């Protein structure tokens, strides 16, 4: 599963870890996160993320 990087603050979404504080369970693919999810560090929107190269 691909990791995604926040282009605003550099936070990396790792599907293996998820974002439990926002209710995103470990094992959730980036594509399956709800569209209104925000970067847990800086509040950027999901569309501000890019696939990690």
Partner 1 sequence: MQPVEIAKGIYDVGVNDWNIRDFHGYSIPLGTSYNSFLVVDEKVALIDTVKKEFADQLIDNISRIIDPKKIDVVISNHTEMDHSGGLARVMHRVGESKPLYCSKMGLKNLGMHFRQKWNYHGVASGETLSLGQKTLTFLETRMLHWPDSMFTYLQEDGILFSSDAFGQHYAGLEKFDDMLDMDIMPHAKKYFANILLLYSHLIVKLLEQVTEMNLDIRMICPDHGVLWRKDPGRIIDAYKTWSLQEPVRKAVVVYDTMWHSTEQMADAIAAGLKDAGIAVRPMHLRKWHRSDIMTEVLDAGAVIVGSPTMNNGLFPTVSDFLTYMKGLKPKNKIGAAFGSYGWSGEAVKMITQELEAMKFNIMDAGIRIQYVPDAPGLETCEALGKQIGMALAG
| Angle 16-37-20 from CA coordinates, rounded to 5° | 40
- Of 12-20, 27-35, 37-45, the window that binds partner 1 (rule: CB under 8 A) is 37-45
**Residue 9 binds partner 1, judged by CB under 8 A:** yes
Least distance in Å: CB of 34 to partner 1?
Answer: 19
Q: Is 29 helix (H, G, I), strand (E, B) or coil?
A: coil
User: CA 30 to CA 7: how far, in whole Å?
Assistant: 15
**Residue 42 binds partner 1, judged by CB under 8 A:** yes
Q: Which residues bind partner 1 (CB under 8 A)?
A: 8-9, 41-44
């Amino acid at each position: 599963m691909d990791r995604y990087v926040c282009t605003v603050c550099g936070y990396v979404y790792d599907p293996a870890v998820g974002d439990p504080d926002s209710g995103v369970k470990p094992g959730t693919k980036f594509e399956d996160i709800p569209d209104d999810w925000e970067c847990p560090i800086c509040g950027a929107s999901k569309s501000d993320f890019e696939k990690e190269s």
